[in-house]
Structure 1
């Protein structure tokens, strides 16, 4: 590329980065503002304070935020683990085996993925209350699987298709059973795809609000997105904007840390699953 083209590419890249990061920077700025400073329209706080973080970690909102943070970690990790294990077997069967209805399974998974969540919440609410799953961890893990399994099956099946069939056959010729070949040959080769799928599934479960707010009523199972909607100010006339912004910053940290730690595996997994060769 010429110097002029590189310059335009750099300008375009910077504008996109600024556009994407500005809302995050604005929330970060709000989290350091005092209650009196929130009415100001300026970007940076006039007086920096840790008051909002103290409120949600050790203050009046800690009883609402900390249990929700624990619930989100536990529920999302369990849902992600179950989703990855189930989708691994399903994707292997779809990629390796030829059986009737294979395209129907993929089509059904895609249909479930695009099905509106709000239309499922009311029947689940009534069913969960009748069978005792309302306001429990399993009562959220099961619906979260409906969000994470379809995308996990689609993503992971693409990685399994890229693994040469001959490698599995060679392991079986050397005496390995089908399960041993799958566990010791296929799964290690598909590790980038598994990591990519796991992180995507975790993000989907971590960001859910509809199930969290509808299928819980106490801090026993309420996740963070639902808890943020229940924050209240010191009085009915005060908006808890600063506390909500501080909580949003803390909730975003695990996502950023995961991406930074596993970014190479994510990139490797996405490129391996997208390139056929």
Structure 2
């Protein structure tokens, strides 16, 4: 008993250390954003500010179009995630149920495409965006974000759809449901954990993507949050406003945290689905 208790204590301490080191960068950003400007570079380092200073949060909204950039990121990430899930759900159902010739090889090809570095597409995408006049247009990011994540989402959802008993679909066909009706009314509700897991991964990619957003969004009011943070400037070109950068980082992390907390149960179910057969 004593040994088990000792091992439990060691496990708790180990988990606590890992969690602390994982959260340390974010906690440091929070502390920096609340420090007075003269304490950010003080020596010795002040880990706890002498008083809470919220001026950095005021500055990023009063001096920069940061609120607009947050809305841009939210809309683009949500639209890109929805479009990706819509396309990948149709493709996944076809691959899982229609028994297409070469379907297994196509899935492996999709897995290969999901490993493809997006940076190599920047030049042809720029030409297409310029040709269609989509510079500083939301579609210039929504469509590429969705397309780049469709292979991965299709590969994940296909594996999950195949675990759903076909007897449910046979019963639905007897009731007169079409293929599309079966997908919408039976397959997708039963696949909510997998959809939530895929959605959070796609959303994080859309939210954090930098290169495409930097290239296709040249106006300050059209930029997304990652580019907006990179473009933050101080009173002069030689000043780096670390307090404002920290405040912006904290604010842009909160939507991701809220998204994960909101779908936490579904995400865990999706990650563990198929681990145990019964």
- Which band: TM-score by shorter chain? over 0.9
CA distance, structure 1, for counterparts of residue 232 and residue 96 of structure 2: 47
CA distance, structure 2, for counterparts of residue 134 and residue 219 of structure 1: 13
Task: Give the SS at the match of 2:228.
Answer: helix
CA distance, structure 1, for counterparts of residue 228 and residue 274 of structure 2: 36
Task: Give the SS at the match of 2:30.
Answer: helix
Task: Note the aligned Cα RMSD (angstroms).
Answer: 1.7
Distance 1:276 1:52, change over 3 A: same
User: What is residue 239 of structure 2 aligned with on the other side?
Assistant: 238
1:21-54 CA deviation, whole Å, 9 max, x = no partner?
A: 0011001111111221110223222332000000
Number of aligned residues = 274
Distance 1:106 1:221, change over 3 A: farther
1:47-77 CA deviation, whole Å, 9 max, x = no partner?
A: 32000000112x212x2x1221111111111
CA distance, structure 1, for counterparts of residue 116 and residue 15 of structure 2: 34
Distance 1:274 1:217, change over 3 A: farther
Return 5+ residue gaps in structure 1 as ranges: none
Q: TM-score by structure 1 length?
A: 0.92
User: What is residue 60 of structure 2 aligned with on the other side?
Assistant: 56
Return 5+ residue gaps in structure 2 as ranges: none
Is 1:39 matched with 2:57?
Answer: no
Q: TM-score by structure 2 length?
A: 0.92
Residues 121-270 of structure 1 correspond to what in structure 2 (within 5 A)?
121-270=122-271
CA distance, structure 1, for counterparts of residue 176 and residue 118 of structure 2: 47
